[in-house]
């Protein structure tokens, strides 16, 4: 990520709106600059970090756009690797030995009975069975300035470098953000994972077929302009760009500027460098999906299987069941969660979430081998089905039908939208393990409207 001093001068304020000056990735001038820097770095292989800084300073010359040059160079060097030299002994140990002689001078100092510098070096080199030159190179070899470039990082194209710089600028604006609101409409599966990964506190509710999510931290309500979580927002931002349709509005307090709102959305040509996760988290899930398609899928099947297409909002956390079955005619929805070979802690949290979700139309498929007693699942609102090696699809479909009848009653024609309208009655609060405070499922309807 860029340092704040490379971002702040490019932030502009207009009324209550903030923006950051990005580069045109087709502009031939900037493409040339990017190309120059990429070439400079490639030629620099094997040379020191200090020399890289000198080289950059020379390249900058008296250009007034030096902040851009430095920003581009920062993106490059962040992705590259500079490695310390190997030395015959640890530099700090050598320093401890040599500095006990100081201050020494070019000539011996008889008044204080002190040897000349060259005598000290010679004497110590002999004692350590090394050459004087080796002592000289070892002395400060642990300073980052002396590290040498060993890996230039990814194969950058000039356009790619400019685009990445633009993304880093957008992230940089969020360094001073006190809170962020995002709206997502599709392909948001990874979003939730990254929210948790970056330990962001979030508050989600459904909104126009998508979600409205507030991001902040525990102390935010008490320190209204805190920028404590800015770095986390910045780190997270590329995850938002994995969604197809999204919008973001951040309240930002840049130094020396009036606070304002910084907006971003999917129409900008920003490209995430984060990885999208694969369609399945485990073999078990992949096999389940495949078997379903073979046996119950296709034209003649009554149910449509979809992968992680529904998010159960649990206040400050979410649960995303592995599969959803949608009845082709009635539109009824049954959610399926596979509980396979997992660590006991993970299982406990999962069960707590299932409880918190208070979701009647959820089917849990639990591997018998896991240490999860029937007890633990007793008051889970949905159904639980155990399996030995893999779920038996016949049994699964029987259970699905049972749930369908129990939850939705005898077949009638009615259109369902999404689970937020789940007919399950609200029950007493349950406590979850990963977050010990009481939490409620989908109780945000009041707020939504």
Partner 1 sequence: MSKSVYFQGGTLVLRDVGEEEQPPAPFRLIRERWRCEGYHYGPLLPELREQSIRDTVPRWQTLDLKLQEKREPHDYQVAALAAWDQADRRGSIVLPTGAGKTFIALQAIHHTKRSTVVIAPTIDLLHQWYARLVNAFATEVGVYYGGEKKVLPLTVTTYHSAGDLMADYGNTFKLIIFDEVHHLPAPSWGEAALMAPAPMRLGLTATYPEPHEQTNGRWSLDDLIGPIVYTKRIEDLVGQQLAHYRTQRLRVDLTPTERTQYDADHAIYIDFVRSQRLPQRYGPGWLMELMRLSALDPQARRAMLARQRLVRMLGGCEGKLAALEGLLHEYGDQQILIFTEQNAVVYDIARRYLVPAITHETHAAERKQILEGFQARRYRAIVTSRVLNEGVDVPEAKVAIVLGGTAGAREYVQRLGRVLRKVENKQAVLIEIIARKTLDEGKAQRRRPQESKTTSTDDGGKE
Only one of the segments 26-34, 37-45, 219-227, 359-367 lies at the binding site for partner 1 (rule: CB under 8 A); that segment is: 219-227
The pattern of x and - marking residues 14 through 53 that bind partner 1 according to CB under 8 A reads ----------------------------------------
The answer to whether residue 140 forms part of the interface with partner 1 (CB under 8 A) is yes
Q: Which residues in 231-260 contact partner 1 (CB under 8 A)?
A: none
Residue closer to partner 1 (CB basis): 267 or 449 = 449
Q: Please return the burial class of 404, using the count of CB atoms within 10 Å of its CB with bins 0-12, 13-18 and 19+.
A: buried
Residue closer to partner 1 (CB basis): 29 or 140 = 140
Question: What are the distances in angstroms from CA 369 to CA 32, 113, 307, 342, 386?
Answer: 61, 79, 25, 10, 9
The kind and range of the H/E element at 370 are: none
The answer to whether residue 448 forms part of the interface with partner 1 (CB under 8 A) is no
User: What is the smallest separation between the CB atom of 420 and partner 1, expressed in angstroms?
Assistant: 17
Only one of the segments 23-31, 367-375, 405-413, 439-447 lies at the binding site for partner 1 (rule: CB under 8 A); that segment is: 439-447
CA distance 403 to 351: 19
The set of long-range contacts for 220-229, using a CB threshold of 8 Å and a minimum separation of 24, is: 220/178, 220/179, 224/178, 225/178, 225/253, 225/259, 226/178, 227/175, 227/176, 227/177, 227/178, 227/253, 229/177, 229/178, 229/200, 229/201
The answer to whether residue 135 forms part of the interface with partner 1 (CB under 8 A) is no
- Joined tokens for residue 297: 């899928």
CA distance 327 to 301: 9
Q: Maximum Cα–Cα distance for the chain, whole Å?
A: 108
User: What is the smallest separation between the CB atom of 260 and partner 1, expressed in angstroms?
Assistant: 17
The answer to whether residue 412 forms part of the interface with partner 1 (CB under 8 A) is no
Size of the site for partner 1 (CB under 8 A): 50
> Cβ distance 333 to 324 under 8 Å?
yes
CA distance 285 to 270: 32
**Bridge-partner residues for 116, per DSSP?**
105
The answer to whether residue 104 forms part of the interface with partner 1 (CB under 8 A) is yes
**Bridge-partner residues for 363, per DSSP?**
336, 383
Residue among 3, 12, 209, 221 that touches partner 1 (CB under 8 A): 221
Nearest to 213 by CA among 83, 293, 236, 224: 236
> Cβ distance 303 to 398 under 8 Å?
no
The answer to whether residue 228 forms part of the interface with partner 1 (CB under 8 A) is yes
Residue closer to partner 1 (CB basis): 143 or 276 = 143
The answer to whether residue 54 forms part of the interface with partner 1 (CB under 8 A) is no
The answer to whether residue 219 forms part of the interface with partner 1 (CB under 8 A) is yes
- Joined tokens for residue 49: 């970090």
The answer to whether residue 139 forms part of the interface with partner 1 (CB under 8 A) is yes
Beta strands in 134-176 (DSSP E): 148-151
The answer to whether residue 431 forms part of the interface with partner 1 (CB under 8 A) is yes
The answer to whether residue 226 forms part of the interface with partner 1 (CB under 8 A) is yes
The answer to whether residue 127 forms part of the interface with partner 1 (CB under 8 A) is no
Residue among 12, 45, 126, 144 that touches partner 1 (CB under 8 A): 144
Residue among 15, 112, 300, 329 that touches partner 1 (CB under 8 A): 112
User: What is the smallest separation between the CB atom of 75 and partner 1, expressed in angstroms?
Assistant: 18
Only one of the segments 102-110, 337-345, 384-392, 399-407 lies at the binding site for partner 1 (rule: CB under 8 A); that segment is: 102-110
The answer to whether residue 290 forms part of the interface with partner 1 (CB under 8 A) is no
Residue entry with tokens 């409207």: 449
CA distance 204 to 442: 10
Rule CB under 8 A: which residues touch partner 1?
A: 9, 62-67, 92, 95-96, 98-105, 109, 111-112, 114, 117, 120, 136, 139-140, 143-144, 201, 203, 217-219, 221-223, 225-228, 315-316, 431, 436-440, 443
């Amino acid at each position: 990520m860029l340092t704040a001093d490379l971002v702040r001068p490019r932030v502009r304020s207009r009324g209550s709106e903030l923006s950051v000056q990005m580069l045109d990735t087709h502009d031939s001038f900037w493409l040339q600059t990017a190309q120059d820097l990429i070439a400079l770095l490639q030629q620099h292989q094997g040379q020191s970090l200090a020399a890289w800084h000198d080289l950059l300073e020379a390249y900058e010359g008296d250009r007034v756009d030096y902040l851009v040059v430095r920003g581009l160079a920062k993106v490059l060097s962040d992705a590259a690797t500079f490695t310390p030299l190997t030395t015959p002994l640890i530099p700090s140990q050598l320093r401890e030995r040599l500095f006990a002689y100081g201050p020494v001078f070019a000539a011996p100092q008889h008044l204080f009975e002190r040897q000349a510098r060259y005598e000290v070096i010679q004497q110590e080199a002999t004692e350590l069975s090394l050459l004087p030159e080796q002592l000289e190179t070892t002395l400060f070899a642990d300073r980052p300035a002396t590290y040498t470039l060993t890996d230039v990082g990814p194969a950058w194209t000039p356009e790619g470098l400019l685009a990445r710089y633009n993304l880093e600028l957008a992230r940089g604006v969020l360094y001073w953000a006190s809170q962020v609101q995002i709206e997502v409409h599709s392909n948001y599966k990874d979003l939730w994972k990254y929210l948790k990964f970056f330990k962001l506190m979030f508050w989600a509710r459904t909104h126009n077929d998508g979600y409205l999510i507030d991001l902040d931290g525990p102390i935010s309500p008490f320190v209204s302009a805190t920028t404590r979580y800015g770095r986390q927002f910045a780190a997270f931002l590329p995850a938002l760009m994995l969604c197809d349709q999204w919008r973001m509005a951040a309240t930002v307090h840049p130094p020396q500027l009036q606070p304002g709102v910084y907006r971003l959305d999917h129409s900008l040509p920003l490209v995430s460098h984060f990885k999208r996760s694969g369609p399945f988290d485990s073999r078990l899930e992949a096999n389940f999906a495949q078997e379903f398609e073979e046996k119950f899928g296709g034209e003649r099947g009554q149910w449509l299987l979809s992968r992680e297409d529904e998010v159960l909002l649990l206040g400050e956390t979410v649960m995303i069941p592995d599969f959803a079955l949608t009845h082709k005619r009635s539109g009824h929805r049954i959610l399926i969660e596979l509980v396979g070979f997992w660590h006991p802690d993970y299982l406990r949290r999962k069960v707590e979430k299932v409880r918190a979700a208070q979701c009647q139309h959820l089917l849990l498929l639990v591997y018998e081998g896991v240490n999860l007693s029937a007890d633990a699942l007793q008051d889970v609102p949905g159904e639980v089905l155990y399996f030995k090696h893999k779920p038996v699809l016949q049994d699964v479909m029987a259970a699905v039908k049972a749930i369908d009848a129990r939850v939705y009653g005898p077949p009638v024609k009615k259109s369902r939208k999404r689970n937020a309208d789940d007919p399950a009655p609200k029950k007493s609060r349950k406590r979850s393990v990963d977050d010990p405070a009481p939490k409620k499922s989908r109780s945000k309807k009041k707020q939504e409207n």
